[in-house]
């Protein structure tokens, strides 16, 4: 297999009560595994694709053979998005961002409270399945939303953080209350990891 599902960096129940154990098992072991399985299926048809990272594949979809392009876009994006998602959360996370990221949030959004409000608003309004992302573009932080498993990588942008608003990410616990899930999610954010990604995005 060219690509593998990374193990969770914590126990399935570690993000309780914000994200329940049953959701984590389903989300990681079924949904993420399915994206990787489907991506590997596409690579079997075109073995040269396996020499690239998933990020490289979705950053240059035009170079992916047309017969597997949609599969790579959807499942490569799903793999990359979820790999980031597990890393930017942790048990006993949350609190306020620190360091240079905090300073940039203050500069571009007028403070963390205002940033949270705008991020939640964008993600709650994402119609259907998709993601809310924070990216760094032209020296500024921007909030963008993407449908399905599309990734900022496909636009030449590096996702600093992102929240999954597919129903499988929250429905078992929050049902149709997406806004409640988005509000609670800040309690598990791993700001150390997000800071590392911000430093990478600025390079």
Taking a C-beta distance cutoff of 8 angstroms, is the pair 132, 165 a contact?
A: yes
Condensed to tens digits (0 to 9), the pLDDT of residues 49-103 reads: 999 999 999 999 999 999 999 999 999 999 999 999 999 999 999 999 999 999 9
Angle of helix 178-185 versus helix 112-124 axis, rounded to 10: 150
**CATH of region 21-87:** 1.10.287.990
State mean pLDDT over 124-133: 98
pLDDT tens digit string along 176-186? Answer: 999 999 999 99
Question: What is the C-alpha to C-alpha distance for residues 80 and 118, in angstroms, rounded to an integer?
Answer: 24
Chain mean pLDDT for the chain: 97
Cβ(81)–Cβ(151) below 8 Å: yes
| 3-state SS class at 134 | strand
Query: What topology is assigned to 99-202 in CATH?
Result: minor pseudopilin epsh fold (3.55.40)
Mean pLDDT value of segment 13-38:
98
Averaged over 29-45, what is the pLDDT?
97
- pLDDT of residue 193 exceeding 80: yes
Q: List the chain domain ranges.
A: 21-87, 99-202
Contact 46, 39 (CB under 8 A): no
C-alpha span between 139 and 126 (Å, rounded): 25
């Amino acid at each position: 297999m060219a690509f593998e599902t990374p193990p969770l960096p914590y126990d399935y129940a570690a993000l309780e009560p914000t994200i329940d154990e049953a959701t984590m098992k389903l989300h990681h072991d079924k949904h993420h595994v399915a994206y990787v399985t489907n991506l590997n299926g596409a690579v079997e048809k075109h073995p040269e694709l396996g020499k690239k990272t998933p990020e490289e594949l979705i950053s240059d979809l035009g170079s992916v053979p047309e017969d597997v392009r949609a599969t790579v876009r959807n499942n490569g994006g799903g793999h990359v998005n979820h790999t980031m998602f597990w890393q930017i959360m942790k048990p006993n996370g949350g609190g306020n961002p620190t360091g240079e990221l905090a300073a940039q949030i203050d500069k571009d959004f007028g403070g963390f409270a205002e940033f949270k409000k705008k991020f939640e608003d964008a993600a709650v309004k994402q119609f259907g399945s998709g993601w809310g992302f924070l990216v760094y573009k032209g020296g500024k932080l921007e909030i963008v939303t993407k449908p399905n498993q599309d990734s900022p990588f496909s636009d030449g942008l590096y996702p600093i953080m992102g929240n999954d608003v597919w129903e499988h990410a929250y429905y078992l616990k929050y049902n149709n209350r997406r806004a409640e899930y988005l509000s609670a999610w800040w309690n598990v954010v791993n700001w150390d990891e997000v800071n590392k990604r911000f430093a990478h995005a600025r390079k």
